[in-house]
């Protein structure tokens, strides 16, 4: 790559993607945008981005970033809607969506047949991290490709190559297991404290600085104490990731993943009984399963 920044196509401008695209625009990257709901792309046009009429029309850029909801949607946009066909040999597709590792490996192989490089690069950090450019970006793929385009990640956060194709998705699943199980543990602990007569806000304050301190206790614990379950991290998305982790575990021959399975069950109950609350809403599901006498 030369010192001149190449054009980047950004496909998918939801809660995360819109904020990531804004960071790239503000860092001086020429962007062409596409989103299924065109108005979300149009909202960023005043910042200097160009809006494409279709995903395929956007994909003539040297670097294409997808930030979509799940694997089947990535499959549809990249292959059925013509993105892969529109990309030039030597271009790079960076999929920052959270999908199954097996899907990432399949996409990489199919794109390689067309001379297109591929990196799976899911993220962690939520909308706050996307807004501030502090996302943890977990990258799978060829090291030379990663080194060649690494600077495109910089405005969005800290990128680390963790292995070959699919490894980025495995790292994201590891992240989601840790975050989900920890949210459940914090919710269960605060429920126990409250049921026994302790002030959950004071309990959270007392625990901070000890071995129980974590970003989850800080952020999600505060949401539980304030009972603010406005969606910042979607429960339906977290369940999707945990189900993908269970699928990956089965493919890898792991016979027992009890923490992942139990947390997925809690999210399933939350979605069935309270809807798509913030994932700190696991407290609501635990309370439902433990009615007051």
Among 18, 120, 42, smallest CA distance to 78 is for 120
Q: Which residues pair with residue 32 across a beta bridge?
A: 9, 50
Q: Which residue has the tokens 């450019």?
A: 133
98/74 Cα distance (integer angstroms): 10
Among 8, 2, 53, smallest CA distance to 27 is for 8
Residue 43: count of CB within 10 angstroms of its CB: 16
Helix (H, G, I), strand (E, B) or coil at 7: coil
* Active-site choice (40, 100, 172, 240): 172
Cβ 29 vs Cβ 48: under 8 Å: no
The DSSP-derived string for 173-213 is HHHHHHHHHHHHHHHHHHHHHHHTT--HHHHHHHHTTSTT-
Radius of gyration of the chain, Cα coordinates, nearest whole angstrom: 20
Among 263, 273, 283, smallest CA distance to 195 is for 283
40 is catalytic: no
Q: Which residues pair with residue 66 across a beta bridge?
A: 11, 95
Enter the tokens of residue 237. Answer: 């998305």
Sign for the CA dihedral angle at 231, 140, 75, 5 comes to: positive
User: Which residues form the catalytic set?
Assistant: 172
């Amino acid at each position: 790559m030369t010192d001149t920044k190449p054009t980047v196509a950004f496909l998918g401008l939801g809660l995360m993607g819109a904020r990531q695209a804004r960071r790239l625009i503000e860092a001086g990257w020429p962007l062409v945008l596409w989103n299924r709901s065109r108005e979300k792309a149009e909202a960023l046009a005043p910042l200097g981005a160009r809006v494409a009429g279709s995903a395929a029309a956007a994909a003539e850029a040297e670097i294409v970033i997808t930030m979509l909801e799940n694997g089947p949607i990535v499959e549809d946009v990249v292959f059925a809607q013509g993105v892969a066909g529109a990309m030039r040999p030597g271009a790079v597709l960076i999929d920052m969506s959270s999908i199954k590792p097996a899907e990432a490996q399949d996409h990489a192989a199919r794109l390689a047949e067309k001379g297109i490089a591929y990196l799976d690069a899911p993220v962690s950090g939520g909308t706050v991290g996307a807004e501030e450019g502090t996302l943890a970006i977990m990258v799978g793929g060829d090291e030379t490709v990663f080194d060649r385009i690494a600077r495109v990640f910089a405005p969005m956060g800290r990128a680390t190559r963790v292995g070959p194709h699919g490894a980025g998705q495995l790292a994201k699943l590891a992240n989601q297991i840790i975050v989900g199980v920890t949210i459940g543990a914090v919710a269960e602990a605060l429920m126990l404290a409250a049921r026994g007569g302790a002030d959950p806000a004071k309990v959270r304050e007392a625990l901070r600085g000890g071995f129980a301190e974590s970003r989850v206790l800080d952020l999600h614990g505060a949401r539980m104490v304030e009972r603010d379950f406005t969606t910042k991290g979607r429960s339906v998305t977290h369940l999707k990731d945990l189900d993908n982790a269970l699928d990956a575990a089965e493919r890898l021959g792991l016979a027992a993943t009890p923490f992942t399975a139990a947390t997925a069950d809690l999210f399933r109950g939350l979605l069935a009984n309270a809807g798509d609350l913030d994932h700190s809403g696991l407290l609501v599901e635990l309370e439902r399963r433990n009615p007051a006498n």
